[in-house]
Structure 1
Amino acid sequence: MAKTVRFHEIGGPEVMRLDDLETGEPGTGEVRIRVEAIGLNRAEAMFRRDQYIEPVRRLPARLGTEAAGVIEAVGEGVTGFAAGERVSVVPAFSQNDYGVYAERAIVPSAALVRRPANLDAVSGAAVWMPFITAYGALVEVGGARAGDTVVMNAASSSVGLAAIQTANRIGATPVAVTRTAAKKDRLLKEGAAEVIVSEEEDVAARVLAITGGRGAEHILDAVAGPGVTDLARAVAPGGTLFLYGLLSGQPTPHPGMELGMPALNVRTFTLFEITKDAARLRRAEAFVGSGLRTGAFQPVVDRTFTLDDIVAAHRHMESNTQFGKIVVTVDPVAQA
């Protein structure tokens, strides 16, 4: 039996329970892992509230798409992985089908990446989603290159911080947008070239001033909602505004209409574009892995919680006070 987090009704963090469940054996194309650490993502809070991009199909439901652990067993047809290997699980599946909030979990082998020897379980659960998202939007899709300007709001999130590091690595200029001045100094310390405080400054005007009137070639918008129109004013000709989150919870207009229909690239993006494509995931794993080896990439962990404290961990995630990734450790790793 394994402790497994499930929710039996739609709602806030308090609806999550720890159930003792039989894990079973992996099927074709699957592996069973002993989970050591779990990376928390907004998608899980939204799924729990049935506000995610896909609805909850059945109750009770599992949660979690990102973890680090050790393979215990492999199912039929699995190649390239074996029992005993240290791996990370990347978000590449529906939470209606699998969930890693557990002591043991069965996941598709296609959702695994090898964990570098120098990467502990907490870091292994914190690094992949943020850096694959940043790499996927900026490099794989956006074609970002040296000399470009990259703007990211919600800059203190794990993806925002990964975008700062990714921009620096390719020679682009990272411009961080944060709501209040409380996190400004730390964002500069983490590598942002400029920090814009949205409660105090006109974001578009600052971006245009920073770029000499050109605008940013790439803008990563985790907030969306009505503010997308103001961000669109700061996009350089031929640049792209990526909508990859909906933290505002509000309807998002197409900004081109209000701005007089300029030649504006606006597209949605999720990391599934990368993780569900084997060739793209291979490139992403190579890009992030090389950054980890050289020290160019460092996951930023805000706090760790234990699996027994999963409700408190989700409450902290929904407080919007974190800086970086929230990770849940699974005993006995927590005792190591």
Structure 2
Amino acid sequence: MAHAIRFAETGGPEVMRWEPIEVGEPGPGQVRIRHEAVGLNFADTYFRTGLYPAALPAGLGVEGAGVIEAVGPGVDFAAGDRVTYTGSPLGAYSTERIMPAEHLIALPAGIAFDTAAATTMRGLTTAYLLRRIHPLRAGDTVLLHAAAGGVGQLFTQWAKLLGVSVIGTVSSEEKATVARANGCEHVVVYTREDVATRVREITDGVGVPVVYDSIGKTTYQSSIDSLARRGLLVCFGTASGPVPPIEPMQLAVKGSLFVTRPALADYIADPAERAELAGELHDHLTAGRLRVEINQRYELADAVQAHRDLEAGRSVGASVFAI
């Protein structure tokens, strides 16, 4: 029988339950997918805690990779196709599920299922951050928080391919080593160095044109203070909590700054754009230009421990659930 992680109330990791489920047959526009691997992302904790609302009871997880077992009417995929996906509806933490075919992305044979589960969300996030948010040019220098994380490792590698230098922040020397190994040119250990001061030193007092901040509450001020005149703060995550309201006059005083809070869903909503970004990601992966290290693997039934590790900062780089 198929199983899934579900939760009936918001709260800590302990609210998650490993339960048997009935999957059924796909309807029009749907497929039944058998997962081979499932992604573990910090955003999953936002749904579990209620920061992102979900109708309860609910499944969990938005990223998976596997094989289509059955298709409903009006679907372009076929049974046996390898696919990956990221996005709603919730429910990726499962051995099997019914999935709208419109959200699926064909997975090339050269990309392993666990690699896909570790990179579809992170890779597409990296793709839109580097290729859609700001017109970066070779020679630019940007600031990236959490440079040793799953997005951080892909981001620094991809940025290097574009000729963009990355100043990355990390919490420890261990993570600094990881960031450097992935192409981070300058690493700031924020637990013992002031980020904005180091950024000004590295950039000869100018600051950076773009800061990519997935941490939020504890880093947004140092992000603002690191920007060059007319720079852009990209708040794409809130690992430490939501960003407090930013007074517009502060943006003027700091150099006529800009702030955006993008969401991946709005950059892959258009099928053609999603295909373009996924194609670029998959090309880099199959050619070996992007390396993916999966440092944590869990059984789906161990999702409680996986979330505890994630929220405690014990995870380095990508994590997946093996099915």
Whether the TM-score (by the shorter chain) exceeds 0.5 is yes
Aligned alpha-carbon RMSD (Å): 1.7
**Structure-2-length-normalised TM-score:** 0.94
1:328 and 2:297 matched = no
Deviates more, 1:128-137 or 1:8-17: 8-17
- 1:222 pairs with 2:214: yes
Q: Label 1:244 to 1:251 Cα distance change in 2 as closer, same or farther (>3 A).
A: closer
Structure 2 residue 97 is the aligned partner of structure 1 residue 70: no
Residue-by-residue CA offset, 1:80-129 (whole Å, 9 max, x unaligned): x21101111222x242xxx1111101122222112221221211110111
Question: Deviation digits for residues 270-312 of structure 1, max 9, x if unmatched?
Answer: 2112222212211111210111122111223121011222222
Measured against aligned partners, the alpha-carbon deviations of 1:194-245 in whole angstroms (never above 9, x if no partner) come to 1011122221121122223332222110111253122112222343210011
Query: Does the alignment pair 1:187 with 2:184?
Result: no
Whether 2:306 is the aligned partner of 1:308: answer no
User: Would the aligned equivalents of 2:229 and 2:254 in 1 still touch at CA under 8 Å?
Assistant: no
Structure 2 segments unaligned to the other structure (5+ residues): none
Cα shift readout 1:136-164 (whole Å, capped 9, x = no counterpart)? 12211222221111211112211111111
Identity %: 36
Q: Distance in 2 between matches of 1:69 and 1:267?
A: 34
SS in 2 for 1:28: coil
Confirm or deny that 1:35 pairs with 2:27: no
CA deviation map 1:19-77 (0-9, x unaligned):
1111012222221100011011112111111112xx12222x10111111001112222
Give matches, 1:274-285, under 5 Å.
274-285=267-278
Question: Structure 2 CA distance, aligned partners of 1:227 and 1:22?
Answer: 44
Asked if the contact 2:8–2:56 (Cα under 8 Å) also holds between the matched residues in 1, the reply is no
Alignment partner of 1:6 is 2:6: yes
Q: 1:184 to 1:255 in 2, by over 3 A?
A: farther
CA distance in 2, matches of 1:250, 1:281: 27
* 8 Å CA contact 1:226, 1:253 repeated in 2: no
Partner of 1:57: 55
Letter paired with 2:154: A
> What is the aligned partner in structure 1 of residue 158 from structure 2?
166
8 Å Cα contact 1:27-1:76 kept in structure 2:
yes
Trace 1:10-25 onto structure 2 (pairs within 5 A).
10-25=10-25
Question: Mind listing any 5+ residue stretches in structure 1 that lack a counterpart?
Answer: 331-336
> 1:8 offset after TM fit, Å?
2.0
Contact 1:256–1:262, Cα closer than 8 Å, also in 2: no
Shift of 1:256: 4.7
Contact 2:231/2:256 (8 A) holds in 1: no
Q: Tell me which amino acid in the other structure corresponds to 2:274.
A: L
Offset at 1:250?
A: 4.7
Q: 1:293 aligns to what?
A: 286
